[in-house]
Amino acid sequence: MMLIFAIIVFAFVAAPLVGLMGGRSSPLVAALPFLLFVVFCALLPQIAAGEIVLEAHRWIPSLGIEAAFRLDGLSLTFALLISGIGSAVFLYASAYLRGENRLPRFYVALTLFMASMLGAVLADDLMLLAVFWELTSFTSFLLIGYSPEEAASRRSAQQGFLVTVGGGLAMLAGIILLGSVAGTFSITEILDRGEMIAAHPLAPTIIVLLATGAFAKSAQAPLHSWLANAMVAPTPVSAYLHSATMVKLGIYLLSRFDPVFSDHALWIALLTGFGAVTMLAGSVLAMRETDLKRVLAYSTIVSLGTLTMLIGIPGALAAVAVVTFLIVHALYKACLFLVAGIIDHETGMRDSSALGGMRHFMPVTAAVALLGGLSMAGLPPFIGFAAKELVYETGLAASAGWALVAAAFVANAAMVVVAGVVAVRCFSGDLTATPKTPHDPGFAMLAGPIVLAALGLLFGIAPWLVGDSLITPAASAIAGEPLEYSLSLWHGFTPMLGLSVLTLALGVFAYLRWDGLRSTLANIRQIDLWGPDRFYDHVMDGLQRLALWQTRLIQPGSLRAYVARTLLIMSLAALVTLILRGGLELPSFAGSLMPDLAIAALLVVSSIAVARSRNFVTGIVAAGVVGFVVALLFLFQGAPDLAFTQFSVEALAIVIMLAIVGYMPFRERDSRSATERRLDAYIAAFVGVTASLVLLAVLAQPFDARLSDWFRVASVSEAHGRNLVNVILVDFRALDTMGEITVLGLAAVAAAAVLAGLRRATGEKRK
């Protein structure tokens, strides 16, 4: 079966076609994600029945790596969100970005991002997951940097890329350790060996590395600032990447490996601790903002912290809460982001403190915003109410329940305020002046928000529509065992209901005093001065200063200095290694012939002549003598072909170099001072002595004739040749020889060009 593999390949291959249609602002750009959504919907009954679809295809068998895919309740939930919300976003973008001059590139990047996300959540191999993980970072970098001519766009794209890729490197290290501990890179097999992995001494290291990657991707404090700054991207990017899909990839990673580490104390402490802190930090930051997209971005950070905290709480109920809240958040947040984009598109501004009364000109948008806001605030009969009660119920059942419930209480109250700011404040009251006359947009921009808002209401009224087919299978995948849970909107008069009422009351109270509260929080300058965003700037400035200092130190502009330092460091490393490893050893010279010793002495004399030469001509000639002496050594060692090659190359090199030197504008014989010449001589002597010691240590080892014997035996039978050297060069090392021929060919072409230039210069002088 190759269904999943075919889906992923199709999504990647279709990117150019989507780019072509997007360049014409055609609504057909939504056809690809919608088709994928339909395919995944067709798989719902199969997955809801408890089946897991596995595929494996050969990729790198020597390393035990496969192009393997896994479709279960968790991965299908993410796939439906990616393709379903993607359909709404692609259709929305066809109208929102109409007339832009870089649409083909945008749609290609957006399609590749969608394909990468699908690949990441469907991968059943750790290395394949890592590949798709980094592809999402790269494509999101392109999408955030949609306007590269703007400094803010470049900074935000760079920040998001560095943070997520840095976390990805930590995750890759964790993946390698996890694969080595489990003895496989297969996620399915790792889930089966969870107890053994969790008990391994490397488990804490693996947990920290995996959590770092997930925290960076899902904007957990203190790695959260990149998410709000990414709002410089167009609204379709914000709605798709940073509310419903990419930022949820870290949540997916944590959910996927929760069955392995769910009972590990470090896993629980990390996820609940960082999740709670992220919820509180996001709440405070959301209350300081007036820009609609940034308000929603910080509220997304709150929701991501909530999801992380829920994953860290052991138990089946927490798994149900994770999936329910995941779906609810994706529906209302994508809806409200698209509404914020409509407000910006139709009014020319998105400052919530300066907007009001737009319900008179945008009644449909106002109704959609109200539906999305009510779901976000967690009011019945929306499914957001059920999700909020599940969060409270899960927190109360945890060991440190009241602390987690307190954090959730503050965060949920902040969500009520954000919902009021976006969905009520902008549309109620008196109409304010805007740069453009507001009005409801067309079908393409309204279709997505309407469907998303309606689903939030429908799933609340009829929760079994999503509970049995999607939430329970996905929760079973997180829990690592089959679960039975009936999602319902009403649970009676419970402590959770009381907390919901108090949350709503506190949220409404804070909303009514939002102007003063926002102003007070915005005036706390320490948040801006000492926050992670400013810390990122300090780190980048420090890296630049370090780079400048390092450049001044090692890049003085002298080629002689570059070569000297490179050779000195290499030789020093080799000599230290020889000494520390006990590799200093001399071979026996008992069998050495007198010609060999004479040639060695001649080499020493020629090398000294090169070092003592006072001008380029004598230096070139002396260096040529060294090459000729090496050719003599080849000749006496029984390699006449190498000797003749060496003779030819040296002769040609001397002629060309002398021809070049004759036309170069040298003003003095040697610009170096006596001290510099002595220093160069010492460095050269040190490099030569080190190289000699390495070679002598090699010669001191017993000669291993296995390879040469094999070549001698196989030259006739395998390569049908009796000249051993030719067989090695032409057959066994064909690619190496081709590379050498290419280098020699390029050198010949360069020499011919130099000589031709010299002839032209000579002819011009004669004229």
Q: What pLDDT was estimated at residue 13?
A: 94
**Closest listed residue to residue 65, CA positions, set 155, 189, 167:** 189
Instruction: State how far the Cα of 221 lies from the Cα of 212, in Å rounded to an integer.
Output: 11
CA–CA–CA angle 232, 237, 243 (5° rounding): 100
Q: What pLDDT was estimated at residue 274?
A: 95
pLDDT tens digits, residue range 392-403?
A: 999 888 877 788
Identity of residue 103: L
**Closest listed residue to residue 520, CA positions, set 359, 267, 339, 287:** 287
For CA atoms 525, 528, 531, 536, the dihedral sign is negative
CB 92 within 8 A of CB 338: yes
Give the gyration radius of the chain's Cα atoms. 34
* CA distances, 678 to each of 65, 280, 674 (Å): 55, 66, 6
**Closest listed residue to residue 399, CA positions, set 495, 309, 283, 500:** 309
* Ordered mean pLDDT values, 10 residues apiece, the chain (767 residues): 89 93 88 95 92 90 87 95 94 90 91 95 95 94 92 93 94 95 94 93 96 94 90 90 81 95 94 94 92 92 95 93 94 93 91 88 94 93 92 85 88 94 89 86 93 94 90 93 86 87 94 90 86 89 92 80 88 92 79 70 82 77 85 80 82 82 64 80 89 88 83 83 81 82 85 79 63
Q: What pLDDT was estimated at residue 552?
A: 83
Instruction: State how far the Cα of 701 lies from the Cα of 622, in Å rounded to an integer.
Output: 33
520 sits in which H/E element:
helix 514-522
Output the six-digit token pair for 663: 């036309």
CB 681 within 8 A of CB 673: no
Instruction: State how far the Cα of 371 lies from the Cα of 146, in Å rounded to an integer.
Output: 30
pLDDT tens digits, residue range 662-673?
A: 776 665 566 777
Q: What pLDDT was estimated at residue 669?
A: 61
Q: What pLDDT was estimated at residue 592?
A: 58
Taking residue 374's Cβ as centre, other Cβ atoms within 10 Å add up to: 23
Instruction: State how far the Cα of 66 lies from the Cα of 60, in Å rounded to an integer.
Output: 6
**Closest listed residue to residue 108, CA positions, set 138, 152, 148, 78:** 138
The DSSP bridge partners found for residue 70 are 54
Q: What pLDDT was estimated at residue 383?
A: 92
67 sits in which H/E element:
strand 65-71
The b/e string for 387-414 (b: 16+ C-beta within 10 A; e otherwise) is bbbbbbbbbbbbeeeeebbebbbbbbbb
